[in-house]
Amino acid sequence: MTATGKPSPLYEVHHDLGATFTEFAGWTMPVRYSSDLAEHRAVRQAAGMFDLSHMGEIEVTGSQAGQALDYAVVGTVSTLKPGKARYTMLCAEDGGVMDDLVVYRLAEDRFLVVANAANVTVVAEALTERAARFSGATVTDRSAEYALIAVQGPASPEIVRAVCDADVDGLKYYSAAPAQVTGHDVLLSRTGYTGEDGFELYCAPDHAAEVWAKLAEVGKPHDLLPAGLAARDTLRLEAGMPLYGNELSREVTPFDAGLGRIVKLDKEGGFVGREALAARAGRPDEKALIGLRGTGRRAPRAGYPVLGPDGPIGHVTSGALSPTLGYPVAMAYVDAGFREPGTELQVDVRGKQLPVEVVELPFYRRS
Amino acid sequence: MTVPDELRYTEEHEWVSAGAREGTLRVGITEYAQDQLGDVVFVDLPETGTTVTAGEPFGEIESTKSVSELFAPVDGEVTAVNEAVTEAPEVINSDPYGEGWLIEITPADPAAVDGLLDAEAYQKLIEG
């Protein structure tokens, strides 16, 4: 199988490690190195290192950058202090989710918006269009200027502490600070998508291989493993984190996804999608994003119908045999009447019916 | 990637060898297939006595990331099933040509196996 997407700046490194590649959002990225289960476990028990260079980085700068972003996304970012980050979403006029984002305030007049690889163009265009009414805000797609390496897992603070000069212990969750690794500037952020403590290091593509090598070397005695997109997906699923294209899409609002709390309806100056989202907030839920627990080894998968006593009530958005828990887990959108934990439902696996039970999200929470 | 000379192959990445009993064929998936799938976590195999048709699915194999069908290499009847892989599917990753075999078939036409790919042709297929 030959992947034909854009290679990551770390492609050669992955190739030398014997990675299996996949095409993802137009990029050729490592799906696994040896065993996705081993990589998953490494992140839960020690540490794993991911290449996320496919993610998009868009800068919004200027004296009105904060105001422009407040108007463009559903959350309030203008109140962030420099060095802090926030999870938010970009919605369409009708309230549909265009992407989920992490926004960093790097300086008073400088924000970095991190978008999913598949949505970079959409996000950059929407931000540019929405910022146009603010003379003091400029939007620039800087994706090509950033590589991104994540180190995730309980051993990650020790590893990161050993490679850089930053105050790692003082760096709180959803904070970022400039740091140096092997003499190169990085933006060190305490964020992740695995349900573990962890860090993300943004650096120049030309420096990525050196930063990766240093982390690998320092991480070795801590049982750090390089980890691919397959492990990333099962990790985020166990942690109940939504994935754009699965749980999030133009067809759902943040409220449908159970993330209504990130929508700041009352913020000053309004925002794109406010009217539709305010109306949605005032209506009872029609559907709900829920967790499902199965039995045996066969997992409900994305797209499989979920059945109630009288037929279809929704569909699975993500599912896998949970490597940590040992039983199948899935997320699904169902009619809101079936959302209560303990409700017994079925998943239709091409004609065969699999019993499942509604459970609270997340499936896994670190202790 | 190992492609043993003595086996026959399908374009769907199954291998075929002589079965344990005279006149039967043993079927598994290739090393290339297990590598592409990733860690196998579930396998659904037919019961003995099931009739299978060349090119049609006889079972399913699931990895962490994906669900794939298993395709019968020839027409025939299932005469043995490797229950050990149902219990411990990871053996398909660790020993795809040995302990990780899936089923044995008594072919309707003993000569049908000659129509499958030889090792050289299969090697070419996976090298693309």
Pick from B64, B93, B128: CB nearest A321: B64
Give pLDDT, residue A350: 84
pLDDT digits (tens, 9 = 90+) for B5-16: 999 999 999 999
Q: Measure A230 CA to nearest chain B CA, in Å.
A: 6
Q: Domain spans of chain B?
A: 7-107
Q: What is the mean pLDDT of chain A?
A: 97
Give pLDDT, residue A1: 44
Does residue A216 contact residue A226 with C-beta atoms inside 8 Å?
A: yes
CATH class (in words) of the domain with range B7-107: mainly beta
The per-residue b/e assignment along A173-185, b for 16 or more CB within 10 angstroms, e otherwise, is eebbbebebeebe
Q: What is the rounded CA–CA span in Å between residue B70 and residue B54?
A: 11
Q: pTM for this structure?
A: 0.93
A34 contacts on B by Cβ (under 8 Å): none
Q: What is the rounded CA–CA span in Å between residue B45 and residue A212?
A: 42
pLDDT digits (tens, 9 = 90+) for A170-218: 999 999 999 999 999 999 999 999 999 999 999 999 999 999 999 999 9
Is residue B41's pLDDT more than 60? yes
Taking an 8 Å cut-off on Cβ atoms, the answer to whether A301 and B44 are in contact is: no
**Amino acid in the structure at residue A156:** S
Give pLDDT, residue A79: 97
In order along its 367 residues, chain A shows pLDDT tens digits of: 455 789 999 999 999 999 999 999 999 999 999 999 999 999 999 999 999 999 999 999 999 999 999 999 999 999 999 999 999 999 999 999 999 999 999 999 999 999 999 999 999 999 999 999 999 999 999 999 999 999 999 999 999 999 998 999 999 999 999 999 999 999 999 999 999 999 999 999 999 999 999 999 999 999 999 999 999 999 999 999 999 999 999 999 999 999 999 999 999 999 999 999 999 999 999 999 999 999 999 999 999 999 999 999 999 999 999 999 999 999 999 999 999 999 999 999 988 999 999 999 999 999 8
pLDDT digits (tens, 9 = 90+) for A270-297: 999 999 999 999 999 999 999 999 999 9
Three-state SS string over B1-67 comes to CCCCCCCEECCCCEEEEECCCCCCEEEEECHHHHHHHCCEEEEECCCCCCEECCCCEEEEEEECCCE
Q: Measure A21 CA to nearest chain B CA, in Å.
A: 9
Give pLDDT, residue A3: 57
Residue A139 sits at φ, ψ, to 5 deg, of -110, 125
ipTM rounded to 2 decimals? 0.83
| A17 touching chain B per CB within 8 A | no
Give pLDDT, residue A2: 52
Mutation target among B1, B65, B86 for the A interface, most CBs of A within 10 A: B65
Q: What is the rounded CA–CA span in Å between residue B48 and residue A154?
A: 47
pLDDT digits (tens, 9 = 90+) for B58-104: 999 999 888 999 999 999 999 999 999 999 999 999 999 999 999 99
**Amino acid in the structure at residue A23:** E
Residue A320 sits at φ, ψ, to 5 deg, of -165, 160
Give pLDDT, residue A4: 76
A302 contacts on B by Cβ (under 8 Å): none
Cα–Cα distances (Å) from A207 to A16, A53, A182, A224, A225, in that order, read 17, 12, 9, 20, 20
B67 contacts on A by Cβ (under 8 Å): 301
Pick from B79, B73, B68, B69: nearest CA to B53: B73
Residue reference for tokens 């299932």: B78
Mutation target among A20, A225, A243, A298 for the B interface, most CBs of B within 10 A: A298
